[in-house]
Amino acid sequence: MEGSFVNPYSSAAFSFFLSIIIAGATTSGSSYSAASTPTCDFPAIFNFGDSNSDTGGLSAAFGQAGPPAGETFFHHPAGRYSDGRLVIDFIAQELGLPYLSAFLDAIGSNFTHGANFATAGSTIRPQNTTLHQSGFSPISLNVQGYQFHDFLNRSQLVRSRATGGVYEKLLPKPTSFAGALYTFDIGQNDLTAAYFLNMTTPQVVAVIPDVLSQFKAVVKAIHDQGGRHFWIHNTGPFGCLAYVLARVPTAQFDEAGCGVPFNRVARIFNRGLKKTVGQLRKELPLAAVTYVDVYKVKYELIRHAKLHGA
């Protein structure tokens, strides 16, 4: 899948987008047709990330997001910082799995087919600030990794002690962890957080290697605990976000109305992430590690919004 691009926001393309998960990751650089790829059959999804894939983590800890969050599809607050569904919701749906319950949400959750450790505002590197001070979640990627480790061990301990009970209907089977899809969508907030600390662009670029090193360490830790299928989104064009655009002189806008210097940093991050994925493929030869070009999808939607139905 490395270097290829399919628009997952098209329903016809989305099935193909998912069908090349294993083939595109295990033999990078080869060409595949939709007809020749195996059917995806993952028993569970374990997701790590920020608001792009948070299905209720931050809201469980700090309260539900207000309107318009949840209005379009769920018609009530649904733990998502969106008025509709997220990409992770569509991935679960296309795989025939229910929407992911947030690990932190104790009300009505079912973890049989996975868990979501993402929280809005999360970063890869710990920010060492409170949510109210900085706007960034204290639940950084390493903490999400700790939560996964705890969830794996405790869920299986509970299942083993309560055979035939309700826990077998609410917690994943032992085999689900090795067969699961592990999804990641995180990194954007590390870049914006650096700018909010008044770092210059060269200073922000200088921290990217450490951010990616910490990302790689978490992926390898999950692999050491049995994970084998990794689906990694790169970061989106955060220079197109309203709160970022407020910091950009209009002379630095591109034809899509996005901040050129910020998107340049996003692309630098993504080149580094792609290199990191290549390293993971070499170091974890039994794993399928897929790099997903979300930047290209989102920028296309923003640049040609009317063409895509906006």
Question: pLDDT tens digits, residue range 126-157?
Answer: 997 777 777 789 999 999 999 999 999 999 99
pTM of the model: 0.88
- C-alpha 69/C-alpha 127 separation (Å) is 26
What domains can you pick out in the chain, each with its CATH number?
A: 11-303 (3.40.50)
Average pLDDT on 237-246 reads: 92
What pLDDT does residue 216 have? 99
Contact assessment for residue 120 and residue 58, using Cβ atoms and an 8 Å cutoff: yes
Q: Which two tokens stand for residue 192?
A: 């914006």
Q: Which two tokens stand for residue 271?
A: 């080149």
> From the CB of residue 147, how many other CB atoms can be counted at a distance below 10 Å?
18
Amino acid symbol at 256 = A
Q: pLDDT, tens digit, for every residue of 166-177?
A: 888 899 999 999
- C-alpha 287/C-alpha 114 separation (Å) is 19
Give the list of residues 6+ apart from residue 258 with CB closer than 8 angstroms, or none: 237, 239, 240, 245, 299, 302
Q: Give the E-state strand segments of the chain in sequence order.
A: 45-49, 114-116, 181-185, 229-233, 288-292
- C-alpha 182/C-alpha 310 separation (Å) is 31
- Count Cα neighbours of 68 within 13 Å in the Cβ-side half-sphere: 6
Q: Which two tokens stand for residue 91?
A: 């991935």
- pLDDT confidence bin for 310, thresholds 50/70/90: low
- pLDDT confidence bin for 37, thresholds 50/70/90: low
Average pLDDT on 98-117 reads: 97
> From the CB of residue 286, how many other CB atoms can be counted at a distance below 10 Å?
7
